[in-house]
Copies of this chain bind each other. A is one copy, B any other.
Amino acid sequence: MDDPQDLALTRALEAILFAADAPLTLTDLTRHVGERGDLLPALRALAASYAPRGINLVERGGRWQFQTAPDLGHFLRTARETVKKLSRAGVETLAVIAYHEPVTRPEIEDIRGVAVSGGTIDVLMAAGWVRPAGRRETPGRPLQYATTPEFLAHFNLASRRDLPGLADLKAAGLLDREPPREVPLPLGGREE
Protein backbone atom coordinates (compact mmCIF):
# COMPACT_ATOMS: atom_id res chain seq x y z
CA MET A 1 0.00 0.00 0.00
CA ASP A 2 3.02 2.29 -0.10
CA ASP A 3 2.95 2.59 -3.86
CA PRO A 4 0.57 5.50 -4.67
CA GLN A 5 -0.80 3.49 -7.58
CA ASP A 6 -1.63 0.60 -5.28
CA LEU A 7 -3.06 2.94 -2.68
CA ALA A 8 -5.43 4.50 -5.20
CA LEU A 9 -6.63 1.07 -6.32
CA THR A 10 -7.02 -0.14 -2.75
CA ARG A 11 -9.02 2.94 -1.77
CA ALA A 12 -11.27 2.49 -4.78
CA LEU A 13 -11.87 -1.18 -3.96
CA GLU A 14 -12.60 -0.29 -0.35
CA ALA A 15 -15.17 2.32 -1.31
CA ILE A 16 -16.80 0.13 -3.95
CA LEU A 17 -17.14 -2.84 -1.62
CA PHE A 18 -18.43 -0.62 1.17
CA ALA A 19 -21.10 1.04 -0.98
CA ALA A 20 -22.18 -2.14 -2.80
CA ASP A 21 -25.59 -3.53 -1.98
CA ALA A 22 -24.44 -7.13 -2.54
CA PRO A 23 -21.16 -9.08 -2.46
CA LEU A 24 -19.10 -8.45 -5.59
CA THR A 25 -17.21 -10.79 -7.87
CA LEU A 26 -13.87 -9.92 -9.40
CA THR A 27 -15.73 -9.20 -12.64
CA ASP A 28 -18.03 -6.74 -10.87
CA LEU A 29 -15.05 -5.02 -9.27
CA THR A 30 -13.17 -4.81 -12.55
CA ARG A 31 -16.18 -3.15 -14.15
CA HIS A 32 -16.06 -0.47 -11.45
CA VAL A 33 -12.32 0.23 -11.30
CA GLY A 34 -11.54 -0.39 -14.94
CA GLU A 35 -8.90 -2.74 -16.32
CA ARG A 36 -6.07 -2.63 -13.81
CA GLY A 37 -4.66 -6.11 -14.04
CA ASP A 38 -5.18 -8.72 -11.37
CA LEU A 39 -7.24 -7.37 -8.48
CA LEU A 40 -6.73 -10.42 -6.30
CA PRO A 41 -3.43 -9.38 -4.66
CA ALA A 42 -4.91 -5.96 -3.81
CA LEU A 43 -8.03 -7.57 -2.34
CA ARG A 44 -5.96 -10.02 -0.29
CA ALA A 45 -3.76 -7.22 1.05
CA LEU A 46 -6.87 -5.23 1.91
CA ALA A 47 -8.45 -8.24 3.65
CA ALA A 48 -5.25 -8.73 5.66
CA SER A 49 -5.21 -5.09 6.72
CA TYR A 50 -8.80 -5.41 7.96
CA ALA A 51 -8.32 -8.75 9.69
CA PRO A 52 -7.64 -7.34 13.19
CA ARG A 53 -10.38 -4.71 12.88
CA GLY A 54 -14.03 -4.83 13.86
CA ILE A 55 -14.90 -4.85 10.16
CA ASN A 56 -13.51 -7.66 8.01
CA LEU A 57 -13.23 -8.08 4.28
CA VAL A 58 -14.15 -11.65 3.38
CA GLU A 59 -14.54 -13.75 0.26
CA ARG A 60 -17.49 -16.12 0.11
CA GLY A 61 -17.86 -18.24 -3.00
CA GLY A 62 -15.86 -15.87 -5.16
CA ARG A 63 -17.74 -12.80 -3.91
CA TRP A 64 -16.15 -10.15 -1.74
CA GLN A 65 -17.85 -8.18 0.96
CA PHE A 66 -17.28 -6.30 4.15
CA GLN A 67 -18.93 -7.62 7.28
CA THR A 68 -18.59 -7.12 11.00
CA ALA A 69 -16.10 -9.39 12.74
CA PRO A 70 -17.87 -12.59 13.78
CA ASP A 71 -16.93 -12.26 17.46
CA LEU A 72 -18.67 -8.90 17.86
CA GLY A 73 -22.26 -9.90 17.19
CA HIS A 74 -23.27 -9.28 20.76
CA PHE A 75 -22.45 -5.58 20.42
CA LEU A 76 -24.91 -5.26 17.57
CA ARG A 77 -27.86 -6.16 19.73
CA THR A 78 -28.94 -4.32 22.77
CA ALA A 79 -31.37 -5.86 25.12
CA ARG A 80 -33.78 -3.31 26.39
CA GLU A 81 -35.19 -5.09 29.37
CA THR A 82 -38.60 -4.26 30.61
CA VAL A 83 -39.44 -5.63 34.00
CA LYS A 84 -42.90 -7.08 34.26
CA LYS A 85 -44.60 -8.23 37.36
CA LEU A 86 -45.68 -11.84 37.08
CA SER A 87 -49.46 -12.07 37.38
CA ARG A 88 -51.02 -13.75 40.40
CA ALA A 89 -52.09 -16.65 38.16
CA GLY A 90 -48.49 -16.88 36.94
CA VAL A 91 -46.99 -16.97 40.43
CA GLU A 92 -49.47 -19.59 41.60
CA THR A 93 -48.97 -21.80 38.58
CA LEU A 94 -45.23 -21.52 38.99
CA ALA A 95 -45.52 -22.48 42.65
CA VAL A 96 -47.68 -25.51 41.84
CA ILE A 97 -45.23 -26.67 39.17
CA ALA A 98 -42.30 -26.19 41.53
CA TYR A 99 -43.91 -28.16 44.36
CA HIS A 100 -45.48 -30.91 42.27
CA GLU A 101 -43.29 -31.37 39.21
CA PRO A 102 -43.57 -33.09 36.86
CA VAL A 103 -47.17 -32.00 36.72
CA THR A 104 -49.79 -31.89 33.98
CA ARG A 105 -52.06 -29.00 33.28
CA PRO A 106 -55.20 -30.73 34.56
CA GLU A 107 -53.32 -31.41 37.79
CA ILE A 108 -52.31 -27.77 38.09
CA GLU A 109 -55.93 -26.79 37.58
CA ASP A 110 -57.04 -29.30 40.16
CA ILE A 111 -54.55 -28.02 42.74
CA ARG A 112 -55.22 -24.35 42.07
CA GLY A 113 -58.96 -24.90 41.75
CA VAL A 114 -58.88 -22.59 38.72
CA ALA A 115 -58.54 -23.24 35.01
CA VAL A 116 -55.03 -22.38 33.82
CA SER A 117 -54.87 -20.48 30.54
CA GLY A 118 -52.23 -21.53 28.03
CA GLY A 119 -50.87 -17.98 28.15
CA THR A 120 -49.95 -18.35 31.80
CA ILE A 121 -47.67 -21.33 31.13
CA ASP A 122 -46.32 -19.57 28.01
CA VAL A 123 -45.24 -16.61 30.13
CA LEU A 124 -43.49 -18.93 32.59
CA MET A 125 -41.70 -20.64 29.71
CA ALA A 126 -40.77 -17.26 28.18
CA ALA A 127 -39.33 -16.24 31.55
CA GLY A 128 -37.22 -19.38 31.33
CA TRP A 129 -38.53 -20.86 34.56
CA VAL A 130 -40.69 -23.68 33.25
CA ARG A 131 -40.13 -26.29 30.56
CA PRO A 132 -42.19 -29.13 29.09
CA ALA A 133 -40.98 -32.36 30.74
CA GLY A 134 -42.23 -35.21 28.60
CA ARG A 135 -45.64 -36.81 28.48
CA ARG A 136 -47.38 -38.70 31.24
CA GLU A 137 -47.97 -42.33 30.18
CA THR A 138 -51.65 -42.22 31.00
CA PRO A 139 -54.65 -42.00 28.67
CA GLY A 140 -54.40 -38.86 26.54
CA ARG A 141 -50.65 -38.72 27.25
CA PRO A 142 -50.85 -35.21 28.76
CA LEU A 143 -47.78 -32.98 28.64
CA GLN A 144 -45.99 -32.55 31.94
CA TYR A 145 -44.25 -29.40 33.14
CA ALA A 146 -41.24 -28.95 35.36
CA THR A 147 -38.98 -26.10 36.48
CA THR A 148 -35.63 -25.28 34.89
CA PRO A 149 -32.14 -24.64 36.30
CA GLU A 150 -32.83 -20.92 35.66
CA PHE A 151 -35.75 -21.21 38.03
CA LEU A 152 -33.45 -22.50 40.75
CA ALA A 153 -30.91 -19.81 39.92
CA HIS A 154 -33.50 -17.03 39.98
CA PHE A 155 -34.75 -18.03 43.42
CA ASN A 156 -31.26 -18.85 44.61
CA LEU A 157 -32.07 -22.49 45.34
CA ALA A 158 -29.48 -25.26 45.20
CA SER A 159 -32.18 -27.79 44.37
CA ARG A 160 -35.94 -28.25 44.58
CA ARG A 161 -35.42 -29.95 47.93
CA ASP A 162 -34.61 -26.52 49.31
CA LEU A 163 -38.24 -25.44 48.86
CA PRO A 164 -39.77 -25.19 52.32
CA GLY A 165 -42.23 -27.94 53.19
CA LEU A 166 -45.82 -27.32 54.25
CA ALA A 167 -44.86 -27.40 57.91
CA ASP A 168 -42.28 -24.68 57.25
CA LEU A 169 -44.84 -22.62 55.37
CA LYS A 170 -47.26 -22.96 58.25
CA ALA A 171 -44.58 -22.02 60.76
CA ALA A 172 -43.78 -18.98 58.67
CA GLY A 173 -47.45 -17.99 58.75
CA LEU A 174 -47.82 -18.39 55.02
CA LEU A 175 -50.83 -20.67 55.36
CA ASP A 176 -52.79 -18.25 57.52
CA ARG A 177 -52.74 -15.44 55.07
CA GLU A 178 -55.84 -13.58 54.12
CA PRO A 179 -57.56 -15.13 51.14
CA PRO A 180 -56.19 -13.72 47.88
CA ARG A 181 -57.98 -10.87 46.22
CA GLU A 182 -58.54 -13.02 43.19
CA VAL A 183 -61.50 -15.18 44.16
CA PRO A 184 -60.90 -18.63 42.79
CA LEU A 185 -63.46 -19.60 40.21
CA PRO A 186 -65.01 -23.02 40.29
CA LEU A 187 -63.14 -25.37 38.03
CA GLY A 188 -64.00 -24.78 34.44
CA GLY A 189 -64.15 -21.03 34.90
CA ARG A 190 -61.74 -18.85 32.96
CA GLU A 191 -58.86 -16.86 34.24
CA GLU A 192 -58.68 -13.20 33.43
CB-CB under 8 A from A76, the residues of chain B are 15-16, 19, 32
Name the residue of chain B whose CB is nearest to the CB of A18. Answer: B55
**Is A13 among interface residues, defined by CB-CB distance under 8 A?**
yes
Q: Kindly identify, within residues 14 to 33 of chain A, every residue whose CB is under 8 Å from any CB belonging to chain B.
A: 14-16, 18-19, 31-33
Per the CB 8 Å criterion, the residue count for chain A at the interface is 24
CB-CB under 8 A from A16, the residues of chain B are 54, 75-76
Contact of A15 among B10, B12, B33, B54 (CB under 8 A): B54
Contact between chains at B11 and A53 (CB < 8 Å) = yes
Q: How far is the CB of A74 from chain B (nearest CB, A)?
A: 9
CB-CB under 8 A from A13, the residues of chain B are 54
Residues of chain A touching chain B, judged by Cβ–Cβ distance below 8 Å, are: 7, 10-16, 18-19, 31-33, 52-55, 66, 68-69, 72, 75-76, 78
